[in-house]
Structure formats: structure tokens, C-alpha cells
Amino acid sequence: MRAVWISGVLAAASWLVMAWHLAELEPGVVALQLAWKPRMFGEIIHLWPPEALELYRRWLLFDGLVLLAYGAFGWLLAVRTRVFSPLPRIVRAAAPFVLPLAALLDAAENCLHWWLTEMPRFGMPSVYLASASCAALKWALLILFGVLVLWALAIGDERAR
């Protein structure tokens, strides 16, 4: 149980640091993550001053810690606690993989963003689409995990009555 708490606190703290660290970027990072066309991506990058782009690129290195923390937290919460025990068996079997898969997609997105922000690569639209697809799937999985936790807690509360 200790590992669950440590990974959860580390994930939450690193997300808060990330939000604080990148708050000055306008448009925000999520807009960049979901920019699936080279032009959209380039327009966002060109709205940022050069030091903001460098801030973002430096952050990509630290984001590895964030994704490891939330990936570990999701796995540990699913396998070391009974949070998901009220859910159907197939959901319980899938739950441990939701956040680690989101973290894997996040890592792929980070690699692509590192490469795409190094220099303009507007002639490669499929890379921008791949990056945005990784981001969209990552966000969908993060939301799904939250929904699964809420579902499990709601069912657990009803059974306790």
C-alpha cells in the first residue's frame, strides 16, 4: 500500500509542478498536443517566444518522471488495492493497463514533440497526426481511468448500504 501512496503523491505533485511550470505558455500545451496539422502546430509554436519554446523542450525531459509516476500509480492502484473489485471481471483485468498505456502514449508524444520542436518539419503531416493521436488517446485513457475509479467507488458505496 505504501508504494501506491508514494506513486500517487509523486504523480500528483509532479502534475502540479508541471501545471505551474508551463502556465505561462499561451496557447497552452494541450492545444499543442492536439495540433494534428503542421500548420496548427507551427502557429502555436510561433506564438510562443523562443524562451517559452525552450522552457517547453526542457520540460519534456522532466515529463518522463511525471509519466512514470502516473503509470506506476495506475498499475499499483489496480493490482495492490481492492478499489476496482466491485467492477466486472473484464474491467478489473483491463484496469491495471490503462494508466501505463497512457504513459506509453505520453512518452511517444514527448519524443515526437522533441523532434518536431527542434526545427520546422512541415513536410511530414503524418508525424503531426501521429503525435496528436498519441495525445488524444493518452487523454482519453486518463479520463477513462478516472471514470473507472468513480464507477468502482459508486458501486462500492451502494453495496455498503
Q: Where are the alpha helices (DSSP H) in 81-124?
A: 89-116
Dump pLDDT digits (tens) for 13-68: 999 999 999 999 999 999 999 999 999 999 999 999 999 999 999 999 999 999 99
Read off the pLDDT band of 1 (50, 70, 90).
confident
pLDDT for residue 159 is more than 80 = no
Q: Quote the pLDDT of residue 156.
A: 78
Q: Quote the pLDDT of residue 158.
A: 62
Dump pLDDT digits (tens) for 131-144: 999 999 999 999 99
Dump pLDDT digits (tens) for 85-123: 999 999 999 999 999 999 999 999 999 999 999 998 889
Domain layout of the chain by residue ranges: 2-160
Q: Quote the pLDDT of residue 160.
A: 55
Q: What Rg value do the Cα atoms of the chain yield, rounded?
A: 18
Q: Quote the pLDDT of residue 120.
A: 83
Q: Quote the pLDDT of residue 68.
A: 97
